[in-house]
Amino acid sequence: MNGGPLVSVRGVHRRYGSGATAVHALRDVTFELAAGTMTALVGRSGSGKTTLLNIIGGLDRPDSGTVLVDGTDVTALDEDGLSLLRRAKVSYVFQTFGLIPVLSAAENVGAPLRLARMPPVERERRVALLLELVGLAAHAEQLPGELSGGQQQRVAIARALAASPRLLIADEPTGQLDAETGLSVMALLRGVVESEGVTALVSTHDPTMLALADRVIRINDGQLGGRSDGRGDS
């Protein structure tokens, strides 16, 4: 553990639909994430993992409860505020990679830096560094369609790290990868948490990935079902 809480989730409720068909995706979820740690969010499909990640990242809003990210109340932000939050403090890695098909690996990594209007020379230096970090320096000019699934996810991680976020949210980042590739991606995430000092919240239902996490939070039917320390504790 590297310090105080970067993320504080308190009493979050989220319900979809109404009446008899209402689905309670999250019920009174409360937890904190310490800065500079990697936390695994574990649960079956439909347990509420993605809903929780989306609320923490400002992609969704809770019906009640608060979420603080680096001291900012995410639930109180308007759309512009949420955009700024996602641009400066929170990054995503999606299960389906989410790369822009017409952009090369390097251009995909550079996209957040373009949003930050970083000068081109500085941007290219940072992109090269990140691609080196994820082991794809030789594939910088290739389009996503020309890369394997594991390579695409590495590009997505490099892109997520590009703007030096405080919080990296990864939703099933190994869901579309084979076990070996998935493990290497998780190892990469583990490595960047340590090298970049970023806080990571990674959802997964793969038990073999849990060993790499500092903490494991279990979620079941929208409720936290227990937590444990990671790194062999799962």
Count of residues in the chain: 234
Binding segment for other proteins among 33-41, 52-60, 115-123, 151-159 (CB under 8 A)?
Answer: 115-123
Name beta bridge partners: 86.
Answer: none
How many angstroms separate the CA atoms of 86 and 176, rounded?
24
Cα-flanking dihedrals φ and ψ of residue 95, to 5°?
Answer: -60, -35
What sign does the dihedral 16-21-25-27 (CA atoms) show?
positive
140 is a site residue for other proteins (CB under 8 A): no
What angle (nearest 5°) sits at the alpha carbon of residue 111, between those of residues 105 and 129? 60
Helix, strand, or coil (residue 227): strand
By CB under 8 A, how many residues form the interface with other proteins? Answer: 12
Q: How many CB atoms lie within 10 A of CB 45?
A: 9
What track of x and - describes contact with other proteins for positions 117 through 136 (by CB under 8 A)?
Answer: xxxx--x-------------
DSSP alpha helix (H) spans, the chain: 49-56, 79-88, 105-115, 120-133, 149-162, 179-196
How many angstroms separate the CA atoms of 92 and 90, rounded?
7
Nearer to other proteins, 112 or 222 (CB): 112
100 is a site residue for other proteins (CB under 8 A): yes
Binding segment for other proteins among 12-20, 57-65, 98-106, 176-184 (CB under 8 A)?
Answer: 98-106
96 is a site residue for other proteins (CB under 8 A): no
177-216: which residues touch other proteins (CB under 8 A)? none
232 is a site residue for other proteins (CB under 8 A): no
Binding segment for other proteins among 32-40, 54-62, 97-105, 198-206 (CB under 8 A)?
Answer: 97-105
How many angstroms separate the CA atoms of 36 and 127, rounded?
22
102 is a site residue for other proteins (CB under 8 A): yes
Nearer to other proteins, 61 or 114 (CB): 114
| In the complex, least distance from residue 192 CB atom to other proteins, rounded to whole angstroms | 23
What track of x and - describes contact with other proteins for positions 41 through 80 (by CB under 8 A)?
Answer: ----------------------------------------
Interface contacts to other proteins, rule CB under 8 A: 100, 102-103, 107, 111, 114-115, 117-120, 123
